[in-house]
Structure 1
Amino acid sequence: MQRILLAFSLLISMCFFSQTKLNLIPYPQKVEFLKGEFVIPASFNLSNNLPVKETEYLKNKLKVKYRNAKNQDAHLLYSKLENQSKPNNEAYSIEISSKQIHIKSYTDQGYFLALQTLIQLFETQKNGRIPTLKIEDEPKFAWRGMHLDVCRHFFTVEEVKQYIDYLAMYKLNTFHWHLTDDQGWRIEIKKYPKLTQIGSKRKESMIGAYVDDTFDGKPYGPYFYTQEQIKDVVQYAQERHITVVPEIEMPGHALAALSAYPELACTKGPFESATKWGVFDDVFCPKDETFTFLENVLDEVIQLFPSQYIHIGGDECPKTRWKECAHCQALIKKNNLKDEHGLQSYFIQRIEKYVNSKGRKIIGWDEILEGGLAPNAAVMSWTGIKGGIEAAKTNHFAVMTPGAYCYFDHYQGDPQTEPNAFGGFTPLDKVYSYSPIPAELNAEQSKYILGVQANLWTEYILDFKQVQYMIFPRLFALSEVGWGTSKQDNYKEFENRVVEHFKILDKMNINYAKSMYNISGKVIPDSKGVSYELSTSQNPSGIKFTTDGSEPKANSSTYENPIPVSKAMTVKSAYFENGELKSAVSSQNFFTSKTTGKKITLENQPSENYSFGGAFTLVDGIIGNVKQLGKTWLGFQGQNVVATIDLGEKINFSEVYFNTLDNKGSWIHLAKSATVSISDDGKTFKTIKEIGKEEILSAKGKINLKVGNQQAKFIKIKIENAGIIPAGNPGADSRAWLFVDEIGAK
């Protein structure tokens, strides 16, 4: 009988392991379950040929007893594979039998990645057992990166090391360290001591939502890293097989440097490190003195960072000062450049030649494409995917980091329940849905996509606990996207693994976001207008809601079907488990009109960063919050909003309204004009109202147009973008943003 029970127990164990997916992130390329299990021993025996530094990492991570053993007695074996013609340095395999774990790799880096898998198996094991299995694994993309801005807010060496540890845990291999910007210079340059004496501090900082334009009145800094600290961090990262790519911003985002060395600007100054967020007109002047300075800076940077690539920024460089500068205009003429964009290309190419002469390559944000891309430069595509496409089609390498999917300073849950963030809406499932290779590229061109990276800008991230909150759990999704094993159809299964990894984060005292537990609301059209659809990653029967503005309680209405919205109302919802509140309370106000839920089409589509909900966002009954651009506004850069609303039948109305934003610091400008037209057939339209810039300005963007008694089946509204930002404004010479929310009729 005992033998029968033992056999039955083993059968149950085998079935359990064979039918359950491993709680690994990123998930391996190939997993084969075998029959049996490996019982974690009290003392873990290590073979004597294991790579030393990596094995010390394992010992520090897994607090179990270890002892050395002969290979045949070891629980952990290692075999170094012979080099193929072009092996993937990060490839590895793991075979777990009932007695041993055998790792194979071509390199120590592959072994280290295998250890990450092994550590996760140990940390997510059940009852001290691991299934016997075979894993064959390697990443799809060579560049799997995370960025950290330490200029807006500074983080200590120990915090940066923790950040690097997070990357290592989830098999990311590139740390992009954003070290200089308008708001602070954070790296010691011995030849130019004033960079840190003056440029590493600012008199105060902008606080609150970015439209508030308020300040804390507190001096910030001096904060910077000494060269010895830099070396320490780089070595720490190397021991974890992570490449540190430094970023030294040029020609824009230079105010902190100019505050220390004003002679490098086009005007005399004086300058100071920026206290606001945004983009500023004063940039490096492309004169010999400036290039000498930058070359000397790069000499010291290159000595500190062994990375193949040096990031030189290149983004958001207004041309205002260059247009007004006699030296710049003479340089344009002397070199037969087309314009100031050509001058930017000249600037970048000159820097590239110098960096190349030192045996390194440059990478920059996609604005380095302006005026022509430097011959050997790589592009970091952030404004969308077009920069990466253009680079790849011209045989330049690109790292994909589009803001719509890869900006972790965006909201990751309902903005009303989240800490203040920069804007945008990038929840976990959206990050997971990203595919780094654009469909526009063929197989040969796709080889130029190096990989994927997420960016963490820190305007509104005041401490390291908030850093943790913004990257977790989205870093999990990035990890699997970069590894190449994410599948949108498997998102729910991925979400289950995320929950298991929350337990690991809990043990590490990491402050991660629980936004995926909160209620998510989506407005959908129905026959009578719109309905509000609620969802949660948990059991939907735990959703409780109210429609009278009161706080939901355990005995409130249980959500079963989308909630009809036929009048002005407030829906509040929350998740309860066993009568206990388990989520934040989500609240949504609705303001219905005669356009609510109607069919709407747009001639121009919004920017991908600000397109949540598409055109329907403009008729969903929700008025946008001016402090939260995440979910309820559509953003258009350099384009007009031309919206046609099909009312379904002829109806009477006398007012048309819409809202736009004004925040010049973020390049967001009020509309230049607006026109309302009507039609009965959707083809021939008659204009019934026009307003200009002065009327829009006096209304402060909240436009309510009296149009007289009208009857029509179609309403078309054209809202004209401000166009090119004029001189004297942040982002001058760039395309203005136009943000629009609800278009209604009464």
Structure 2
Amino acid sequence: MKKFKSAIIATSIATLLSMGTAQSVSASQKVVDTMSSQLHLNYQIVDNDAANHGVDCAALGADWASCNKVTLTLKNTGPAITSNDWAIYFHNIRMILAVNNDQFKITHVTGDLHKLEPTEKFKNIPANAVVTIPITGEYWQISESDVMPRWYVTSSNAEPKVIANTDTDSDNLSAFVKPLGEQWKISPNDHNILMTPENRYQRNKDIQEINGELLKGQILPTPSKLTVGKETITLNENGVNLVLNNLSLESKSVLEKHFTELKIAVSSKGFNINASIDKNAFEKGVKGSYKLDITPQGATIVAFDESGIFYGVESILSVIDVKKPQVIPTLSAEDAPRFEYRGMMLDTGRNFKSKEAVLQLLDMMSKYKMNKFHFHLSDDEGWRIEIPDLPELTEFGSKRCHDLSETKCLLPQLGSGPYSNNSGSGYFTRNDYIEIVKYANARFIEVIPEIDMPAHARAAIMSMEVRYQRLMNSGQEQQANEYRLVDPTDTSNTTTVQFYNRQSYLNPCLDSSKKFVNKVISEIAKMHAEAKQPISTWHFGGDEAKNIHFGNGYQDINVAQKEAGKGLIDQSIEDHPWAKSQACQTFVQKGVVKNIEHLPSYFAVEVSKIIKNNGINRMQVWQDGVKFATNAKSFATDEVIVNFWDNLYWGGYDSVNEFANKGYKVIVSNPDYVYLDMPYEVNPKESGYYWAARFNDERKIFSFAPDNLPQNAETSFDRNGDVFTAKGTMDWPGAYGLSAQIWTENIRTDDKMAYMAYPRLLSVAERAWHKADWETNYQKDRQFQQGETHYVDQQKLFNDWNQFANLIGQRELAKLDAASINYRLPVPGAKIENGKLIANIVFPGLSIEYSIDKGNQWQRYQGPIAIKKGENVFIRSVSPNKQRTSRIEIVK
């Protein structure tokens, strides 16, 4: 009887507890539902030069004593919010240094994730009122895209919900981000020119429209030799007949698709295009070389190899005008690529990109003769490729959601919010990856996989911790430790560039780390073998394995002599990565490495052995990953290739020589010219990071001299819009290649990726394939500076660019339309002069439209238009297929 009574009592208590919990969750959920629907959030950047306006940024610990002020407002559109059981999580790419409202506090969680919550002084958020929260953040925020979407509310165990007006995947953040107004400068020393319609008009003023007949027969990228005939050939309904006996069926199928895309049929009765391989016809024997003759009797291609056939046919496709695709000019061309490596890097770790978007990118690369696809498959924020036997990498590491325990998913980052139904999450299955490699192979594109390490490895590390815990829970200790990537003794206090802690750095002193690397390389190598493109290059990553708090912009708060302009922090509590790992301390004690800071380069050497053992003879790496290695011969692979990514104006024009002279092959990858995640122009409405450049537009990239980096000081500016001086003080053996990069921190959608890539990628392809006659040869100790030296033939450069701009406007953009590419349409330049609207465009031939009734009716601009005094005029450009328009701006 006692047992029965005890059971009844226990059951009753459990019932009461569960009822209490249910009521608690219900109350918490009500708080979340109320706040997410009632609150209207606004983010206003108030001052990007707070250090000169009364804020002691140095005392707040800001890097280079630089900080900004933001006003955050919470407008309550309903009844008062009195509960203090809530938190608002948000993504912020700048560290929050101070909150100037004592009712609220902000805590950094990890990466860009922050938490806003009430303090003990919190009273309420009054009904139908606005609460203002002034905050101070590090550095500056000069673009609307700096602000991340999907701020979300949590409360106890309730389901989190996104604040409605912040819930977007697009770049249109106007629902909660106020216009920047005058806050578009990094500092008072920022001398860039804001791109208004008037300033843009001035920038475009020298560009002249070329008669279409004069563009006939021009090939992009530009061939080594070209003679255009006077005759033209008109194709009939049978189109072309591709007699490409040396080409695989897969590659021939690609070319057939490219013809049909331009509405040209492919049939045995069409205009003959014959191709053959004759290596003896080419004195230099460069892969991809071809000779092309188009006559009324047919087109003939003699190529050095299969890729030369492919490129020869692409050159025929290049001369076709979508407006009259049946007409092909007669011509003769001899051609060979400038660089062996003509590349594109795509980051899928920060924000995932669909397989379809990757395939589209590969297809466009092939049309412009680019041949290396650097596939960035992992980062702190996500692991993106399925690896057999390591399911946690994708089941956990590819997914982001609000799970503070991080047992189900990685914490949200970069605007992904609390859910896994957006580009913050996703991965390529094994079959997806094999399909991508096959697709690239048919287009003569080598896929170079990158698994970034030892830094930028948080997704892998946390995934293997989930695996470790799962196996430990089932008593399998040996298996649990097999692929573990952290040393449990490591208590190092470190901060990465993206504000992660020691969980971002894979431990290079563990055998389990090497075993993990071998497993991943061997499995991806199997995928390549199945795709019939064996891996010939493995990208190690290697970048940014450091603690940013030891950077030059900080100083120890305890030093007697303090320097002005540097942030004050307690560096005595800071560690280099792995400094307190017992495994790594043993390495230093035994002399395996000179010191802890040399561990990344040591690990690069160790991984090179694993790469070699997997039958791969080339290792590629971001250059800072090998900076402590003696030279390229320190590694096991036959070749070591570096992506050189120093900014030119900070000394990259000369430091590049150090790597070349140590035997590394150098791929020029400078962020201030060929990072396509930088903005197109200086304007807060243009998205993109800008730590390296305020703009990288098509003209700047086209004018880039990748094989003589000092020359660029004569044709461009530094980040502040100032001239700089450059001189190479060492020998330069020449670049191995040129690569553009797209990092995707604030590129959340496939369409945005296309917007950032095109048409800039055409300028990259031009410089990778063709050396222009205005590019000077490298000469040691020759100094360049804009306005002071005159080694570059500016007239040749302008003529070259003017033709290229006309080809884009009159021909290439229509081809991008035909391929369904969401490329960026440039905003026109315009001004009101003598009562008339005058407008121009960077790509002549592209239509300009204007409106004088707030955009209700648009008319095509065909010349100066009389405008009444006080009338607002709106301008935009329109795609050749009339389906899309540029951003709209007002001409004042």
Give me the TM-score of the superposition, normalised by structure 2.
0.54
Q: Mean alpha-carbon deviation: is it higher for 509-518 or for 16-25?
A: 16-25
- 1:370 matched to 2:656? The reply is no
Offset, 1:175 = 0.7
Cross-structure match for 1:699: none
Q: Match for 2:419 among 210, 218, 222?
A: 218
Give 2:20's aligned residue.
Answer: none
CA shift for structure 1 position 339: 2.2
Which string of whole-angstrom CA distances, capped at 9 and with x for unpartnered residues, describes residues 573-623 of structure 1? 865799x9986455899xxxxxxxxxxxxxxxxxxxxxxxxxxxxxxxxxx
Name the structure 2 match of 1:284: 506
- Is 1:392 equivalent to 2:660 in the alignment? yes
Hey, what's the Cα distance between the residues in 2 that align with 1:128 and 1:456? 36
CA drift at 1:189 = 1.5
| Paired residues for 1:548-563 under 5 Å | none
Q: 1:458 to 1:268 in 2, by over 3 A?
A: farther
Aligned partner (choices 237, 241, 245) of residue 42 of structure 1: 237
Gaps of 5+ in 1: 1-14, 206-211, 521-532, 547-552, 561-571, 590-746
Shift of 1:430: 1.3
8 Å Cα contact 1:545/1:559 also seen in 2:
no
After TM superposition, the structure 1 = structure 2 runs for residues 140-219 of structure 1, keeping only pairs within 5 Å, are: 140-203=338-401, 216-219=417-420
- Contact 2:279–2:285 under 8 Å retained in 1: no
- Counterpart amino acid of residue 623 in structure 2: D
Cα distance, 1:485–1:339 mapped onto 2, change above 3 Å: same
1:449 partner SS: coil
| Residue 754 (structure 2) aligns with | 468
Q: 1:172 to 1:213 in 2, by over 3 A?
A: closer
Q: Which amino acid aligns with 1:378?
A: I
- After superposition, residues 522-541 of structure 1 pair within 5 angstroms as 536-537=841-842
Q: CA deviation at 1:114?
A: 1.0
For 1:264 and 1:117, how far apart are their aligned partners in 2?
49
Q: How does 1:301-700 map to 2 (within 5 A)?
A: 301-305=524-528, 306-318=534-546, 320-335=576-591, 337-357=593-613, 358-372=615-629, 373-375=631-633, 376-384=639-647, 386=652, 388-419=656-687, 424-439=694-709, 446-486=732-772, 488-489=797-798, 490-499=800-809, 500-515=811-826, 517-518=828-829, 536-537=841-842, 575=875, 584=887
Contact 1:94 1:135 (8 Å CA) reproduced: yes
Change (3 A) 1:321 1:420: closer
Secondary structure of the residue aligned to 1:285 is coil
Give the Cα–Cα distance (whole angstroms) in 2 for the partners of residues 397 and 132 of structure 1: 39
1:264 maps to what in 2? 485
**Is residue 2:522 matched to residue 1:299?**
yes
Unaligned runs of 5+ in 2: 1-209, 404-412, 466-483, 529-533, 548-575, 634-638, 711-726, 775-796, 832-837, 853-857, 866-871
State the Cα distance separating 1:261 from its structure 2 match.
1.6
Secondary structure of residue in 2 paired with 1:404: helix
Cα distance in 2 between the residues matched to 1:80 and 1:356: 33
Query: In structure 1, what is the equivalent of residue 275 of structure 2?
Result: 78
SS at match of 2:745: coil
Aligned to 2:217: 22
Amino acid corresponding to residue 814 of structure 2 in structure 1: K
CA contact (8 A) 1:253 1:280 kept: no
Distance in 2, matches of 1:291 and 1:252, equals: 14
Task: Map 1:96-175; keep pairs closer than 5 Å.
Answer: 96-124=294-322, 126=324, 128-175=326-373
User: Which string of whole-angstrom CA distances, capped at 9 and with x for unpartnered residues, describes residues 703-730 of structure 1?
Assistant: xxxxxxxxxxxxxxxxxxxxxxxxxxxx
1:527-556 deviations in Å (ceiling 9; x for gaps): xxxxxx99752789999999xxxxxx99x9
Distance in 2 (alpha carbons) for counterparts of 1:335 and 1:323: 15
Q: What residue identity is the alignment partner of 1:327?
A: A
Equivalent pair of 1:352/1:374 in contact (CA under 8 Å): no
- Partners of 1:446 and 1:575 in 2: CA distance: 47
Q: CA deviation at 1:32?
A: 0.7
Shift of 1:101: 0.8
Q: Deviations over 1:7-42 (max 9, x none)?
A: xxxxxxxx9998445353212221112242222232
Give the aligned partner of residue 670 of structure 1.
Answer: none
Write the distance in 1 (CA, Å) between the matches of 2:252 and 2:357.
23
The SS at the match of 1:454 is strand
* Preserved CA contact (<8 Å) 1:203 1:218: yes
Could you tell me whether the CA contact under 8 Å between 2:641 and 2:666 is conserved in 1?
yes
Q: Please name the residue that 1:60 is paired with.
A: 257
Tell me which amino acid in the other structure corresponds to 1:315.
D
Q: 1:476 to 1:204 in 2, by over 3 A?
A: farther
Structure 2 distance, partners of 1:41, 1:588, is 47
Does the CA-based 8 Å contact 2:235-2:271 persist in structure 1?
no
**Is the CA contact 1:422–1:459 (under 8 Å) kept in the aligned structure 2?**
no
Whether the aligned pair in 2 keeps the contact of 1:184 and 1:200 (CA below 8 Å) is: yes
**1:537 corresponds to which letter in structure 2?**
V
TM-score normalized by structure 1? 0.64
- CA distance in 2 between partners of 1:307 and 1:443 (Å): 36
Q: Percent identity?
A: 25
Q: 1:270 to 1:444 in 2, by over 3 A?
A: closer
Which amino acid is 1:459 matched to? E
Q: Structure 1 pair 119/187, CA: closer, same or farther in 2 (3 Å)? A: same
- 2: CA distance, partners of 1:576 / 1:197: 45
Counterpart contact for 2:806–2:843, Cα < 8 Å: no
Q: Which of the pair is proportionally richer in strand?
A: 1
Q: 2 CA distance for matches of 1:545 and 1:68? A: 50
Q: Is the 8 A contact 1:187 1:227 kept in 2?
A: yes
Does the CA contact (< 8 Å) of 2:660 and 2:666 recur in 1?
yes
Distance 1:165 1:538 in 2: 23
Measured in 1, the distance between the counterparts of 2:585 and 2:489 equals: 17
Which SS does the other structure have where 1:338 is aligned? coil
* Cα contact 1:139–1:483 (8 A) shared by 2: yes
Give 1:278 deviation, angstroms: 5.5
The one-letter amino acid paired with 1:355 is I
